[in-house]
Structure 1
């Protein structure tokens, strides 16, 4: 059992979420196909600010899992922080290399190895905000149509342009904020 009382194992999410590039998410409400690439940086910043506010609430509350096998708000926040970091690296690879293949990332193994449920919410908030800002700045620095069309692929064969990658990325933190708050994207 962890310090936060979260002993239930998380069932790994094995879904292929690339479908969000084709239609709105029925859960969180984000219409990813309608996201304008130039808006992604602002969406990242707004999302990061929401996580910071959430993590500043009752520490015991953000550590508590709502149900066995469901991440706590703190665990989701750690995941979002790491998604921001990983996507910053992957965006850099897409802009610097021709068609890079991204190494596989096991988000569930990372959550266990990094002991997400035992991290300090205030520290996670600072790190998430910094990671979100770095990623937002990286997207703002994408210059010209040629850079937006550059490609990269995941190890499972999913292929992205920088533009589709930006829309795919923004769904993740928006969806996880919905997972924690139940508030659909407006």
Structure 2
């Protein structure tokens, strides 16, 4: 009987290791994202992430990726003078996009005059402020609390509740500023 149990354990252990090497989570996450987010939106975000490197800091202030349609990036330009200048730079922009963001699979750039000023950056989320900890309980529990703890039938649960009550009576930790 004991020998049979050992064999079952060994077989189970072997099966556990047969599955192979662990897989990277990024493939699973990208499959999940692609299931919800349209491909053009993903490619637009990839393009926006490298736009300052593609166009250079000075040009990135005056032109920005507005949309992606198929294999074409639609770039909004601040004013007509820069629009005219960028028409001569389209091929260079496409080449830089292919170098820095090959996953976007863009083959052309369409330029258009921006309808408005460059959109403001998204608002920064305020930091999460942790709520203040409640003041510690008195070191000695009240008579009602002691009676309620002693009324618990399960000895392990009673010990856990008593230990939690003791911890709640400790003063809050002080961290160096």
TM-score range, shorter chain: under 0.3
Q: Which has the larger radius of gyration?
A: 2
Q: Which has the higher strand share?
A: 2
- Greater RCO structure (CA 8 Å; 6+ sep): 1
